[in-house]
Chain A
Amino acid sequence: MIEIKNLHVTVADKPILKGLNLSIGAGEVHAIMGPNGAGKSTLGYALAGRDGYEVTEGSVSYNGKDLLDMEPDERAAAGVFLAFQYPVEIPGVSNTTFLKSAVNSIRRARSEKELDAMEFLKLIRAKTKQLGMTDEMLKRAVNVGFSGGEKKRNEVLQMAVLDPAFCVLDETDSGLDIDALRIVADGVNALRGPDRAILVITHYQRLLDYIVPDKVHVLANGRIVRTGDKGLALELEEKGYAEFGVDEAA
Chain B
Amino acid sequence: MAKTVTITDTPAPAVQPYLDHHGRVASSLPGGDLSWLGNLRAEGIARFRKQGFPGARVEAWRYTNLRPLEKVAFEPAPAGGGPSAAVSVDLLPTVMPAGQPSHRLVFVDGAFRDDLSSIGTLPEGAVVTSLGHALNSHADLLERHLGRVGVTDSNPFQALNTAFLADGVVVHLPKGVAVAEPIEVVFIGTGGVSEKPTMHHPRILVVAEANSEATLVEHHLGQGVGTYFANHVTEIVAGEGARLHHYKVQRESTLAFHMATVTADLAKDASYDNFVLTMGGRLSRNEIKPVLNGTGVECRLSGAYMVNGQQHCDTTTVIDHAQPHCTSREVYKGVIDGTAKAVFQGKIIVRPDAQKTDGYQLNRALLLSDTAEIDSKPELEIYADDVKCSHGATAGELDDDQLFYLRARGIDLESARNLLIAAFLADAIEEVRIDTVREAFQGMVTGWLKTQRA
Contact = CB atoms under 8 A, between A and B. Distances in A.
Nearest to B421: A92
Contacts of B423: 90-93, 141
Contacts of A48: 404, 408
B409 A90 contact: no
Contacts of A76: 407-410
* Interface core residue of B406, B410, B412, B427 (most chain A CB under 10 Å): B410
Interface in A148-171: 158, 162
Contact of B410 (A51, A88, A92, A106): A106
B424 interface: yes
A72 B404 contact: yes
Nearest to A82: B408
Contacts of A49: 407-408
Contacts of A101: 406, 411, 415, 419
B413 interface: yes
A71 B416 CA distance: 13
A50 interface: yes
Contact of A105 (B400, B402, B415, B420): B415
A97 B406 CA distance: 11
A50 B407 CA distance: 9
Contacts of A102: 406, 409-411
A73 B402 contact: no
B405 interface: yes
Interface in B372-410: 400-402, 404-410
A237 to B, nearest CB: 31
A48 B410 CA distance: 11
Contact of B424 (A73, A92, A109, A158): A92
Given A88-B405, A90-B423, A97-B419, A73 B410 contact: yes
B408 A87 contact: no
A90 B408 contact: no
Contacts of B410: 73, 76-77, 102-103, 105-106, 109, 162
B426 interface: yes
B411 A105 contact: yes
A160 B390 CA distance: 44
Interface string B168-200: 000000000000000000000000000000000
A87 B405 CA distance: 8
A158 B408 CA distance: 11
A162 to B, nearest CB: 7
B419 A73 contact: no
B306 to A, nearest CB: 15
B419 A71 contact: no
A244 interface: no
Nearest to A86: B401
Interface in A100-117: 101-103, 105-106, 109
A113 to B, nearest CB: 16
A45 to B, nearest CB: 8
B407 A93 contact: no
A109 B413 CA distance: 13
Nearest to B423: A92
Contacts of B415: 101, 105
A204 interface: no
A71 B420 CA distance: 19
B438 to A, nearest CB: 15
A133 B404 CA distance: 24
B409 A88 contact: no
Q: Closest 9 CB pairs between A and B?
A: A92-B423, A76-B410, A102-B409, A106-B410, A72-B407, A88-B405, A105-B410, A73-B407, A93-B423
27 contacts: A50-B404, A50-B408, A51-B404, A72-B404, A72-B407, A72-B408, A73-B410, A87-B405, A88-B405, A90-B402, A90-B406, A91-B423, A92-B426, A92-B427, A93-B420, A97-B419, A98-B406, A98-B409, A98-B419, A105-B410, A105-B411, A105-B412, A109-B410, A141-B423, A158-B409, A162-B409, A162-B410
